[in-house]
Amino acid sequence: MVTVSAPGKLMLFGEHAVVYDRPCLVTAVGQRMRVTVELLDMPEFLLDAEDVKVIGYKKQMSEVGIGEIPKGAKFVEIALKNFLEKHPMKTGIHVTTSEFSSFFGFGSSSASTVCTMKAISELTGIKLSNKELFDLSYKTILDIQGKGSGFDVATAVYGGTLYFVTGGKVIEPLNISELPLIVGYSGVKADTVTLIGEVKKKLEEEPEKVNRIFDAIKDLVEKAKADIVKGDWETVGKWMNFDQEYLRDLGISTEKLEAMISAAKKAGAYGAKLSGAGGGDCMIALVPNDKRKAVGDAITIAGGQVIDVSVNTEGIRVEK
């Protein structure tokens, strides 16, 4: 039996633009997905994923990836299918996933995909490099969603804080020891695939304008990368505010997110922006140490929920 865990993610800069061949910056969060895998004598696939209300799901190994798959089982089952296509196995497998709420948009689908792939490779002795683990897991996400840059998959694998270019063309860890963020949940669950679709529509309608926005966001990502490494939080905050303006222009911010962002800034944050697909989920604020409480209180008064989560955390690891 093997248990592995992988972190969730928070996008710092570059969301949406990263779907279109631009870079982004992302950090791993302390909330971790855990997946336990054991081999079975019978050629059966069993899944227990309480977090997504899938209990006692069972099918023949020969049927993995075939027929109707319940939503909550998709990422684990297609990860297994993609692994088996490369490395066939004769035994059965029991997968148990736990401990990660899909609630805040921290990327539970990609974390469970990466964990499943890693756990099976550990258990079968078929070692995968981090890049192979990324590639197979990213393929799994694309097979299911058809969309996505893969930044969440890279974060689950590598952890830390990454500079990432679409599809893993570049995955570069940033050498930093702190990242003074506050995270606020807007109370609304966002649907990433729908929001990617909305931005795609906008891009088709106004290609010049939207490409100009994506290029401007790319510029901010490059600047923020250099200033994050320097620890110049005041300047990084300024880039965050600019990025938020572009995201607003893309039409993916919400009144609630705007209220939380402006409350955070008024209370003394260096900068604030939405994080991820938009339409809900979370906002982030970069804050001086002596303003943490004031900024947290301001986000709460604006109707947000401050989430106590560590950032820049470790990537995938084998637990036992």
H-state helical runs in the chain: 74-86, 108-124, 130-145, 151-158, 192-205, 207-230, 233-249, 255-266, 292-301
CB of 15 to ligand MEV, least distance (A): 4
- What is residue 311's DSSP assignment? B
Tell me the three state secondary structure of residue 71: helix
CB of 2 or CB of 196, closer to ligand MEV: 196
Per-residue tokens: 124: 């079968």
CB of 148 or CB of 296, closer to ligand MEV: 148
3 binds ligand MEV (CB under 6 A): no
Cα–Cα distance for residue pair 38/232, rounded to 1 Å: 47
CB of 277 or CB of 302, closer to ligand MEV: 277
22 binds ligand MEV (CB under 6 A): no
Residue 237 burial (CB count, 10 A): 22
Q: Is 308 a catalytic residue?
A: no
Residue 143 burial (CB count, 10 A): 15
19 binds ligand MEV (CB under 6 A): yes
185 binds ligand MEV (CB under 6 A): no
Residue 116 burial (CB count, 10 A): 29
Residue 194 burial (CB count, 10 A): 10
Among 112, 116, 140, 149, binds ligand MEV (CB under 6 A): 149
148 binds ligand MEV (CB under 6 A): yes
Tell me which of 152, 227, 297, 308 is the catalytic residue: 152
Among 18, 29, 269, 285, binds ligand MEV (CB under 6 A): 18
153 binds ligand MEV (CB under 6 A): no
Query: Rule CB under 6 A: which residues touch ligand MEV?
Result: 11, 15-16, 18-19, 148-149, 151, 192, 196, 276-277
Residues with catalytic annotation?
152
